[in-house]
Structure 1
């Protein structure tokens, strides 16, 4: 009974709500649910290469659809999905035909139509029309609502192309085919980043400040966060997830919704921001008119919102539409504050197609009352009341459990207990999370998490106990460099008490002399990173800075950034470390494609699979060295790996201080910043940072490398969902979400990644084992 009720409740909650992360079902090309007569093409080379042979993983006819002419804007393969569909993924193959053909489309464009008449070009989240990537599986970001899809192969060479296809998604039960609204506006508050609250993925018409005839971000399945300046997407602008308006030019926001057919509407769900500290609130009220046929009905549905000035969380507001029947709705949303912002709107429809007539006469065939009716009614009422009580108790128990669980996780994030101490391999059996959460031990690990970020903003290594109470200049082995020979070029980042600068160091190779890790520049200056303590730093910050110098001075490995020299004879205190002209690995890879004939022919910056494997081996070698000293990095990621012209990698520590990567970090109560997408579950829940948690982060770093840093890890999950996912790792009930296998990654290497993400710490490999496992891959490539 319990399970049955849960299923009912979950099914009800899911109606009209699309989750792009789970809406990825094959739609029927390979298994033939999409029939041959639903496939069309602009042309075909031969009857044996017609559109009916464009089915993924099938070897029929001559192996694929091949157009009669070379690809151009006029050549396309068209698929009729039979109904409106939320399309999230496209999979493609070339022609194989039992090893006798190899024609394939390196790139293709996507056009789509909801009615088969008006065709639109798919655009990315930046609003640009682009070719799909060359990989077999292509995520559509944003996804599209459509019935008809056209794939238009593109080639830069005069070659024949052939295609096989599968489409992935799920049914669009909402039935919404377009919405119109005023264009979103720009928020320019003093002291805050500019937020562009426009609908950048809208596929309709933009004219005279209005949007009409299309769908966009309000139907992409991504709900905005509590802070509207933070986004779920990687490398987009603040405010991206919301469409927002200001009340200085609008009395209300009018939106019109058009559906595929007449529907009996039960409710409308509007996800609204409520960050009232920034003059944003959910709408105060809404009035909706209905158009069942050709004219609008005079009587609207009125709904007044219960405003909340205590909880700034974004939330869904459910508007009761009273089972009104229509094919179009027009709603006026009224402001409750200066700004109003929406991120998703969905509709729920009943099975009825007309409102009940409350004054209808009784049916002529009605059965007369035989005296037992009151008894039956009493029994039914009793049963219904019992069911309501049972459902209430179940929901209340679930609510209490969820609140307790979230409280415990939040406590773990902010107040990890003494179970998180120490730098040896952790033994989880010594202390369960339940015991950790409720221990009376002092919460000293809170300091450990807060100080994950050093005084200059860079990451701070965790090492066996180092005392700095009596640390003096004699304890620092690095040489004193003349600070006047450091020429400022750029500020890379900053922390609470210091900054990281990119500088030119004049005469540094000569100053360091024989054995210098720097290349000979024939007297020219070299680029270095300079961490500088500000004059207003506290005595504790000064001690931490000296401790960091002592830590860095102990490192001497070809794959670890070296401390070159210091300026500590006078204030401000400075440490000078290596810096690579090619910058960090994340930026380097994200600007490149995998090496191919196409990249060579068009001079596209590229890397080979061998290059990627070589990078992985070097990072494992550097981490093997750190582990041998019992040092724990705590922020291993591609943003913290620097690269020279020979693709030599050196592991660094100042990615945390750079604004460029601020979205990679989760801020706790305005103080601690944590790279949660790279962190092991025990680091998030228990505050445990060890070599084993660095191994977890290495697995995520490998995943970044083999996706060419094109997306953030767990990009479809919000920060809060990532934290919830770590709870699933702890519970170990098989519901945890893993990163997918990158298309470029060999299966044996992805298996190695999965071992890095083992729930049980002893099951994870060591860095020595990772290095030995990766070396043969480089030799084989």
Structure 2
């Protein structure tokens, strides 16, 4: 029971990752593991910089979510637009880098320096450096908007590197500080570069022009299209990346454009000498448009870069398929040949040949004179399977031991913990017991009794708390409503899960994930009266909340309850449940996807563009949606701009994804042994008494209005720490005039700020209803 569970799980995940990497296919959507800045696996000596302001702002302090020293790395002096100051991280080995996270210098509320933008340079050997650019050719990434909130940037395309430099960019002379985390996984494939003829334009009559070149080729040293983990679709004109041209996911050539040779020659260079088992090529086969997989391939091998090509080649002839137009992997056996460089000729089977991904299965060559014995392969595989099974059994026994220990200890600790909590609350809010400070050892009444002596009473049995398994703070509803729901109450139909095509992960929680997916044939499936907007023939994007395989039975039950609740909601300003996939695991619910993201990002990324009328219209829409929820006695419990989404017509729909996104992790406060809470939006009775009602949603609505009229430029109570926010709720309870209110935003009319203040009334009956809020706001909007 004394073993470190996190260490064991980390080792297990690392073993799985290494096994996946050995297959030579890394999925960027799942290769997103922290590489060790925050948890110090990356050592101080591996973090350097071009300069530092002080010893206490050196590069070793550039660790995400840590505040040692003076809180971050800060380059010396004011950063000028022409400067190229950098923070350099040595990852220790070749790494598939997919995500970069940054923060500014917060330093326990004493710092306010951050980088609004930055560039990324990378190198495999520390000598030759390259500049990262996205798929559209942009080199500058968006940085931070304040000193404490982390910003996560996905690298499209990902890179293979050992050394990384983050170079802050500024338009004006300013002070800059940074904290950083890098995400990815080990690169075991060994392929470091390849060369190939430049891809070509395809101009089919009646179809869009397809540009089949390698857009991530830097022109000199490196191509990345065929090693970026992106698999092309059956129709090569359909791309997985948005805002790009048709054919983007493929590299392709026309037969007659390469002279009379009838083949495409490619050369691959590896990090070291390897024994090659096979080559896997993902190839398009849309034969109706003259595209087929290659008819055959011949490969030659070079054991050292300075040696000549070996005379004996490996040849492989494919089986052509004129019935199934699906893109597919073609596996070419390489007969365990030893090489550091491979040259392959792929022969045309039709007018066009298109590849989207190439990977090699190999092992590092331990001896150039003794190639591996093929007969040992089954033995090696058997040993590996045995080791993995033993590891799984050991982990199971340790976890079971920990579970038993926790069950045995829980009873004895519960009473002691409750006594400590009671004593702490009495000391924190002493006047709740009727004046004066109670002595710690002379308890006049419990905090629960003290609070209920003066506060309005809402019985805890009035509502069922339902924590969304995807990390979202899902609606609380009257208990009888949940208990009476049956299978027939779910109006959403079962959607074929094979028609959901994964695009990217939007967020995750303890037991579930939220994915952006493309739903093939969804409008036809939903039929007449579909809530989907007219897509003009384009694909339908949806948000899919999926229960993970490791979810507990309780999480599974909660997920089904969540589906039942969502299936009852039907309002223009509430996110809609479209369909479900519950006939088999994993359980999924499919909801509308809002193309303009959440309201917090929408407003904070704009300068003074939104008019007062625009802001009031947003407020009316939110009040309308909450009025609908209140009419059903539903309590949201996490109303904020991060949970208000906008579609392409800028219609606001209230959702519950906010908690699942790392971007908003600083908006939630984790209480020991309990779920995280959005305390800066919560009414005093919700924090102190755990009471969530429509009236507490009204309080949160007032904070949401405040966010809107500050254009989401700062966090509520930004000058207070989380602990001070909790202490301030005690002042609301005591109601002695010492509580701190949010200030009046400059864009907010006095009458509207007065409405906000009513939402934050200490006594619940003094707060307006959502019906009253809607009626008060609606006349101010130009219809």
TM-score between the two structures when normalised by the length of structure 2: 0.49
Cα gap change, 1:43/1:444 in structure 2, threshold over 3 Å: closer, same or farther? closer
Which of 591, 611, 617 is matched with 1:597 structurally? 611
Cα gap change, 1:545/1:27 in structure 2, threshold over 3 Å: closer, same or farther? closer
Cα gap change, 1:438/1:575 in structure 2, threshold over 3 Å: closer, same or farther? same
Q: Distance in 2 between matches of 1:555 and 1:742?
A: 33
Q: Distance in 2 between matches of 1:483 and 1:2?
A: 31
- After TM superposition, give the deviation of residue 37 of structure 1 in Å: 1.7
Q: Distance in 2 between matches of 1:321 and 1:735?
A: 77
Which of 755, 759, 764 is matched with 2:762 structurally? 759
Mapping of residues 612-631 of structure 1, within 5 Å: 615=618, 618=621, 621=624
SS at match of 2:736: coil
- After TM superposition, give the deviation of residue 324 of structure 1 in Å: 0.9
Equivalenced residues, count: 747
- After TM superposition, give the deviation of residue 237 of structure 1 in Å: 1.1
Cα gap change, 1:344/1:421 in structure 2, threshold over 3 Å: closer, same or farther? farther
- After TM superposition, give the deviation of residue 170 of structure 1 in Å: 0.4
Cα gap change, 1:769/1:430 in structure 2, threshold over 3 Å: closer, same or farther? farther
Mapping of residues 192-207 of structure 1, within 5 Å: 192-205=207-220
Cα gap change, 1:314/1:49 in structure 2, threshold over 3 Å: closer, same or farther? same
Task: Tell me if the contact between 2:22 and 2:188 (Cα under 8 Å) persists in the aligned partners.
Answer: no
Task: Tell me if the contact between 1:86 and 1:170 (Cα under 8 Å) persists in the aligned partners.
Answer: yes
Please say which of residues 193-202 and 563-572 is displaced more in the overlay.
563-572
- After TM superposition, give the deviation of residue 18 of structure 1 in Å: 0.9
Q: Distance in 1 between matches of 2:471 and 2:449?
A: 33
Which of 246, 251, 263 is matched with 2:274 structurally? 263
Please say which of residues 292-301 and 234-243 is displaced more in the overlay.
292-301
The aligned residue for residue 325 of structure 1 is: 338
SS at match of 1:775: helix
Q: Distance in 2 between matches of 1:717 and 1:229?
A: 52
Task: Tell me if the contact between 1:178 and 1:257 (Cα under 8 Å) persists in the aligned partners.
Answer: yes
Q: CA RMSD in A?
A: 18.9
Task: Tell me if the contact between 2:505 and 2:514 (Cα under 8 Å) persists in the aligned partners.
Answer: yes
The aligned residue for residue 592 of structure 2 is: 578
- After TM superposition, give the deviation of residue 318 of structure 1 in Å: 0.8
Q: Distance in 2 between matches of 1:341 and 1:59?
A: 50
Cα gap change, 1:84/1:535 in structure 2, threshold over 3 Å: closer, same or farther? closer
SS at match of 1:428: coil
Mapping of residues 142-153 of structure 1, within 5 Å: 142-153=157-168
Please list the CA deviations of residues 319-376 of structure 1 after superposition, one character each: whole Å capped at 9, or x if unmatched: 1111111111111111111111111111111xxxxxxxxx999999999999999999
Task: Tell me if the contact between 1:417 and 1:687 (Cα under 8 Å) persists in the aligned partners.
Answer: no
- After TM superposition, give the deviation of residue 85 of structure 1 in Å: 0.7
Task: Tell me if the contact between 1:77 and 1:150 (Cα under 8 Å) persists in the aligned partners.
Answer: yes
Cα gap change, 1:200/1:708 in structure 2, threshold over 3 Å: closer, same or farther? farther
Q: Distance in 1 between matches of 2:101 and 2:550?
A: 57
Please list the CA deviations of residues 397-430 of structure 1 after superposition, one character each: whole Å capped at 9, or x if unmatched: 999999999999999x999999999999999999
Cα gap change, 1:594/1:536 in structure 2, threshold over 3 Å: closer, same or farther? same
Please list the CA deviations of residues 132-163 of structure 1 after superposition, one character each: whole Å capped at 9, or x if unmatched: 99962111122111111000111223221111
Task: Tell me if the contact between 2:103 and 2:147 (Cα under 8 Å) persists in the aligned partners.
Answer: no
Please say which of residues 90-99 and 297-306 is displaced more in the overlay.
90-99
Runs of 5+ consecutive residues of structure 2 not aligned to the other structure? 1-8, 76-80, 141-145, 410-415, 422-426
Q: Distance in 1 between matches of 2:441 and 2:376?
A: 68
Runs of 5+ consecutive residues of structure 1 not aligned to the other structure? 209-216, 350-358, 599-609
Please say which of residues 75-84 and 624-633 is displaced more in the overlay.
624-633
Cα gap change, 1:734/1:553 in structure 2, threshold over 3 Å: closer, same or farther? same
Q: Distance in 2 between matches of 1:710 and 1:613?
A: 17
Cα gap change, 1:507/1:63 in structure 2, threshold over 3 Å: closer, same or farther? closer
- After TM superposition, give the deviation of residue 526 of structure 1 in Å: 31
- After TM superposition, give the deviation of residue 62 of structure 1 in Å: 2.1
- After TM superposition, give the deviation of residue 280 of structure 1 in Å: 0.6
Please list the CA deviations of residues 637-660 of structure 1 after superposition, one character each: whole Å capped at 9, or x if unmatched: 999999999989799999999999
Please list the CA deviations of residues 525-546 of structure 1 after superposition, one character each: whole Å capped at 9, or x if unmatched: 9999999999999999999999
- After TM superposition, give the deviation of residue 581 of structure 1 in Å: 19
- After TM superposition, give the deviation of residue 275 of structure 1 in Å: 0.6
- After TM superposition, give the deviation of residue 294 of structure 1 in Å: 4.0
Which of 39, 64, 76 is matched with 1:56 structurally? 64
Cα gap change, 1:762/1:233 in structure 2, threshold over 3 Å: closer, same or farther? farther
- After TM superposition, give the deviation of residue 73 of structure 1 in Å: 3.6
Cα gap change, 1:222/1:778 in structure 2, threshold over 3 Å: closer, same or farther? farther
Q: Distance in 2 between matches of 1:498 and 1:388?
A: 22
Q: Distance in 2 between matches of 1:105 and 1:223?
A: 34
Cα gap change, 1:314/1:46 in structure 2, threshold over 3 Å: closer, same or farther? same
Q: Distance in 2 between matches of 1:488 and 1:21?
A: 9
SS at match of 2:755: helix
Please say which of residues 163-172 and 38-47 is displaced more in the overlay.
38-47
Task: Tell me if the contact between 1:619 and 1:649 (Cα under 8 Å) persists in the aligned partners.
Answer: yes
- After TM superposition, give the deviation of residue 48 of structure 1 in Å: 2.1
Task: Tell me if the contact between 1:488 and 1:501 (Cα under 8 Å) persists in the aligned partners.
Answer: yes
Task: Tell me if the contact between 1:666 and 1:676 (Cα under 8 Å) persists in the aligned partners.
Answer: yes
Cα gap change, 1:702/1:559 in structure 2, threshold over 3 Å: closer, same or farther? same
Cα gap change, 1:308/1:369 in structure 2, threshold over 3 Å: closer, same or farther? closer
- After TM superposition, give the deviation of residue 66 of structure 1 in Å: 1.1
Task: Tell me if the contact between 1:417 and 1:445 (Cα under 8 Å) persists in the aligned partners.
Answer: no
Please say which of residues 90-99 and 398-407 is displaced more in the overlay.
398-407
- After TM superposition, give the deviation of residue 615 of structure 1 in Å: 3.0
- After TM superposition, give the deviation of residue 314 of structure 1 in Å: 0.5
Q: Distance in 1 between matches of 2:305 and 2:686?
A: 61
- After TM superposition, give the deviation of residue 117 of structure 1 in Å: 1.4
The question of 1:698 aligning with 2:701 is answered yes
Please say which of residues 7-16 and 648-657 is displaced more in the overlay.
648-657
Cα gap change, 1:676/1:199 in structure 2, threshold over 3 Å: closer, same or farther? farther
Please list the CA deviations of residues 204-235 of structure 1 after superposition, one character each: whole Å capped at 9, or x if unmatched: 52899xxxxxxxx2111110111111111112
SS at match of 1:469: helix
Please say which of residues 133-142 and 710-719 is displaced more in the overlay.
710-719
The question of 1:282 aligning with 2:319 is answered no
Cα gap change, 1:258/1:779 in structure 2, threshold over 3 Å: closer, same or farther? farther
Cα gap change, 1:73/1:747 in structure 2, threshold over 3 Å: closer, same or farther? farther
SS at match of 1:205: coil
Please list the CA deviations of residues 434-455 of structure 1 after superposition, one character each: whole Å capped at 9, or x if unmatched: 9999999999999999999999
The aligned residue for residue 390 of structure 2 is: 386
Cα gap change, 1:752/1:47 in structure 2, threshold over 3 Å: closer, same or farther? farther
SS at match of 1:466: helix
Cα gap change, 1:481/1:763 in structure 2, threshold over 3 Å: closer, same or farther? same
Task: Tell me if the contact between 1:84 and 1:145 (Cα under 8 Å) persists in the aligned partners.
Answer: yes
Task: Tell me if the contact between 2:106 and 2:148 (Cα under 8 Å) persists in the aligned partners.
Answer: no
Cα gap change, 1:665/1:427 in structure 2, threshold over 3 Å: closer, same or farther? farther
Cα gap change, 1:120/1:524 in structure 2, threshold over 3 Å: closer, same or farther? closer
SS at match of 1:297: coil
The question of 1:304 aligning with 2:317 is answered yes
Q: Distance in 2 between matches of 1:572 and 1:380?
A: 28
Cα gap change, 1:284/1:106 in structure 2, threshold over 3 Å: closer, same or farther? same
Task: Tell me if the contact between 2:104 and 2:147 (Cα under 8 Å) persists in the aligned partners.
Answer: no
Q: Distance in 2 between matches of 1:394 and 1:468?
A: 37
